[in-house]
Amino acid sequence: MDECQNNTIRGFHIMGFTTSGTGTYLKFAGFLLMYVIAVTGNLLIALLVCKTPQLHTPMYFFLLNLSIVDATYVSAILPKLLSLTLTDYREISFEGCITQLYFFVFCADAEICILLCMAYDRYVAICSPLHYSMIMRKKCMCCDVWLLTCCQCLEFITLNFTYIYTILLLLSQYQPFLL
């Protein structure tokens, strides 16, 4: 009987884009330009909302949080993509993948929750303008959004990666039979 080697998978191999020469540098320049524009634009919006006293209303407070989420959203994926397009190292560790996925899901979920709060803010401003300041407490509502998003993402990542890890573990035990 053949001896079975006990190999442990420590990460993932990412195939990426298959171009060479100037195509690689053009893709890198395009992704870098998108990254710089997105981060700079979102941080400029955040700075403008923080520094201008006329913009200290609940709607602009949500816009500030949305721009921070968008800057984080882009920063969760594009730096790794930039390194993949420029270098030949095409691996990501399991922990790095989980971290990247967590921030991606966190930002997507936070963006949806903030947009929901912005819609509710406009609803209250139109339907109950006299009670607007009493109903819309910007700091309390935003903290609730961030806390809810954090809990949802932890639940999503924990459940999905526990399920995936269990399947991979079962498949690795039966690998000799699958070949």
User: Would you state the pLDDT for residue 38?
Assistant: 93
User: Would you state the pLDDT for residue 179?
Assistant: 46
Distances (CA, A) of 169 to 30, 31, 146, 155: 39, 36, 34, 21
> Read out DSSP for 7-24?
----EEE-------THHH
Q: List CB contacts of 47: < 8 A, sequence separation 6 or more.
A: none
CATH class of 21-178: mainly alpha
User: Would you state the pLDDT for residue 40?
Assistant: 95
Number of C-beta neighbours around residue 48 at 10 A: 14
DSSP bridge partners of 146: none
Whether pTM exceeds 0.75: no
Phi, psi of 109 (to 5 degrees): -70, -40
Quick: pLDDT tens for 61-98.
Answer: 888 888 988 998 899 888 888 888 887 777 888 778 87
| Closest to 138 (Cα-Cα) out of 60, 69, 71 | 60
Quick: pLDDT tens for 121-179.
Answer: 888 888 888 888 777 765 556 667 767 777 777 777 776 666 666 666 555 555 554 44
User: Would you state the pLDDT for residue 81?
Assistant: 83
- What is the rounded CA–CA span in Å between residue 176 and residue 113? 47
Q: Which of 56 and 2 is assigned the larger pLDDT?
A: 56
User: Would you state the pLDDT for residue 128?
Assistant: 84
Q: Residues 90-109: what's their mean pLDDT?
A: 81
Q: Which residue has the tokens 């320049």?
A: 29
- pLDDT at residue 1 above 50? no
Q: Half-sphere exposure of residue 69, counting CA atoms within 13 Å on the CB side?
A: 23
